[in-house]
């Protein structure tokens, strides 16, 4: 079932959903089940699975020489989605990127998803590879998520890259896209970013999932601006409970979001990470309750591969 149908059918009851990431190469599917099992009691209608592009590593091969290797540290997105649908009978939502994909790779990826009975995808550009500063599209790949949305929408209309194909099967993907209540880090300003978000919706995206945020006022303001600019699709807020003092610097650096004063002050006073976790959980519970009270029908949690804190939040909220 499509994410948008789950939201429509919720009938006033707030929905709980979450995102997991594939385990590091060398681990098995059981670690995914161990993350998901404790969260199943909150009846997630769907579970997102992130996609991780290749990275470059340099191996010392002696004589002052370095060998460049291309590695995918977290493969398995499609397999995990199939395993989730098979084991839990819950919709899995794979993320798909522009980065590292040619248009043909994208088409073949989508065909695999369609054959597996996966109805939803989140279409993202992806970041630059870790050793580079700026995002580079593949030769014959997509530069922006809006172009990826166009390709998925075309496949939904039976338009494949090979225009000689006749009577082609039409896929039926529900398409999610990412958005940034505090602006994407590369966007010159908020309004421009909003225009490009609107472009993704105009090209066929069905819903939006936001980057994590810690100040609900920013999210409500963002929703307001989206609605004023003519964006009518569901906007799913993404939340993450903080768990360590180190995240005070890591989260703003990596995700370009602000942490509110009141939260920072409490965390700085905490004597250890157990105390930080408690503060992070309580903050996230308050955020969730306020969002639900504002009649937002669903809250999405970034688990980062660990379910215990999300579970503690969900127990108080759902």
| CB closer to ligand FAD, 95 vs 218 | 95
For 6, the token pair is 């789950």
Smallest gap from Cβ 267 to ligand FAD, in A, equals 23
Which is nearer to ligand FAD, 126 or 141 (by Cβ)? 126
Task: Determine how β-strand 91-97 pairs with β-strand 66-71.
Answer: unpaired
Shortest spacing between CB 256 and ligand FAD, in angstroms: 9
Residue 166 Cβ vs ligand FAD, minimum distance, rounded to whole Å: 32
Alpha-carbon gap, residue 118 to 283, rounded angstroms: 34
**Residue whose structure tokens are 């002052």:** 64
Which residue matches tokens 């002696």?
A: 62
Tokens of 29: 């599917």
Q: Tell me the C-alpha to C-alpha distance, in Å, between residue 173 and each of 127, 201, 204.
A: 23, 14, 10
Q: How near is the Cβ of 40 to ligand FAD at its closest, in Å?
A: 22
Give the tokens for residue 68.
Answer: 């460049």
**What is the closest distance, in whole angstroms, from the C-beta atom of residue 108 to ligand FAD in the complex?**
18
Task: Report the residue number, 116 or 275, with the smaller CB distance to ligand FAD.
Answer: 116
Is the Cβ of residue 123 or residue 276 nearer to ligand FAD in the bound state? 123
Task: Return d(Cα 244, Cα 273) in angstroms, integer.
Answer: 5
Nearer to ligand FAD by Cβ, of 41 and 112: the residue is 112
User: Residue 259: how many CA atoms within 13 Å on its side-chain side?
Assistant: 24
The answer to whether 197 and 226 are in contact (CB under 8 A) is: yes
3-state secondary structure of 280: helix
For residue 303, the minimal CB distance to ligand FAD (Å) is 13
Pick between residue 144 and residue 220 the one whose CB is nearest to ligand FAD: 144
Closer residue to ligand FAD (CB): 113 or 122: 122
In the bound state, the residue with its beta carbon closest to ligand FAD is: 178
What CA–CA distance (Å, rounded) separates 9 from 211?
A: 24
Least distance (Å) between residue 7 CB and ligand FAD: 15
Positions touching ligand FAD (CB under 6 A) are 50-51, 53, 95, 97, 122, 124-127, 144-146, 178, 184, 186-187, 193, 196, 200, 209, 211, 238
Rounded to whole angstroms, the Cα distance separating 209 from 212 reads 9
241-259: buried (b, 16+ CB within 10 Å) or exposed (e) per residue?
bbbeeebbeebeeeeebeb
Instruction: State the minimum distance, in angstroms, from the CB of residue 94 to ligand FAD.
Output: 8
The answer to whether 313 and 42 are in contact (CB under 8 A) is no
Q: Which is nearer to ligand FAD, 100 or 260 (CB)?
A: 100
């Amino acid at each position: 079932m499509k994410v948008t149908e789950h939201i429509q059918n919720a009938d006033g009851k707030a929905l709980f959903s979450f995102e997991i990431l594939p385990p590091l190469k060398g681990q098995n599917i059981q670690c995914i089940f161990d993350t998901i099992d404790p969260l199943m009691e909150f009846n997630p209608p769907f579970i997102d699975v992130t996609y991780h592009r290749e990275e470059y590593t340099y191996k010392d091969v002696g004589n002052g020489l370095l060998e460049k290797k291309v590695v995918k540290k977290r493969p398995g997105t499609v397999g995990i989605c199939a395993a989730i649908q098979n084991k839990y009978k819950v919709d899995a939502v794979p993320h798909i990127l522009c980065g590292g994909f040619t248009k043909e790779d994208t088409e073949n990826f989508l065909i695999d998803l369609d054959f597996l009975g996966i109805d939803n995808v989140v279409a993202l550009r992806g970041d630059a590879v870790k050793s580079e500063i700026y995002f580079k599209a593949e030769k014959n790949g997509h530069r922006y998520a809006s172009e990826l949305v166009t390709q998925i929408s075309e496949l939904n209309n039976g338009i494949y890259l090979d225009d000689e194909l006749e009577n082609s099967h039409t896929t039926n993907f529900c398409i999610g896209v990412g958005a940034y209540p505090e602006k994407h880090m590369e966007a010159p300003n908020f309004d421009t970013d909003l225009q490009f978000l609107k472009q993704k919706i105009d090209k066929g995206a069905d819903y939006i999932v936001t980057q994590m945020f810690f100040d609900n006022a920013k999210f409500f303001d963002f929703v307001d601006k989206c609605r004023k600019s003519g964006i009518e699709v569901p906007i799913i807020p993404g939340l993450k409970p903080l768990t360590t003092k180190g995240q005070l610097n890591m989260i703003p650096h990596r995700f370009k979001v602000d942490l509110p004063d009141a939260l920072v002050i409490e965390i700085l006073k905490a004597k250890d990470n157990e105390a930080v976790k408690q503060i992070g959980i309580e903050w996230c519970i308050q955020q969730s309750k306020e969002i639900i009270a504002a009649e937002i029908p669903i809250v999405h949690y970034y688990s980062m591969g660990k379910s215990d804190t999300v579970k503690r939040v969900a127990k108080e909220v759902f």
